[in-house]
Amino acid sequence: MLILAVLVLGLARCSASPNPTRFYVLDPADGVPAAASAATNDRDLRVGIRSVELPRYLERPQIVTRASANRLELAEFHQWGAPLRQTVPALLAENLSRLLPSEQVQVFPWGRAFAPDAQVLVEVSRLEGSLGGESVLAARWRILGRAGDEVRGGTSRFTEAS
């Protein structure tokens, strides 16, 4: 009976311990300037974030860090507050809204009344950091015109000290 009481008290103590998990969110880029005043037709520009594809290793709540060139680590107690597949497109739309003179930037699926003049497609190849190193965002992007033809494309890589 004494052993049972000790086990029950031990389990109760374990369940009462605080959850050490910390949750994180991505914020819009600091220092993104507001768009300068532009011609009326530029303010009417409608931009749609058509798709943002992320690497499969980011389809999880845990924050991923790069331990070496070929090894990733998952931080069990450091997790994203929302799925990146939802957060990254919304963040891209927010940043574009700040950069462009247009207030009409929407993430797919958009309503029937919204007909974008340009659609942005992004394929993220890296989005991770390394402890004491740098955080990296690498992506391939394309901009499609109204007719669906590619009007511009390229690759971008951003790094920042972790």
Mean pLDDT of 65-94: 92
pLDDT digit string, tens, across residues 117-144: 999 999 999 998 877 788 899 999 999 9
Cα of first residue to Cα of last residue in the chain, in angstroms, is 53
pTM (2 d.p.):
0.79
- Confidence (pLDDT) at 106: 94
Distance, in Å, from the CA atom of 132 to the CA atom of 22, rounded to the nearest integer, reads: 19
Q: Half-sphere exposure of 14 toward its Cβ, with a 13 Å CA cutoff?
A: 6
User: Looking at the domain that runs over 47-55+85-161, which CATH code has it been given?
Assistant: 3.40.50.10610
Beta strands in the chain (DSSP E): 22-24, 46-53, 62-68, 71-80, 104-107, 118-129, 134-144, 150-161
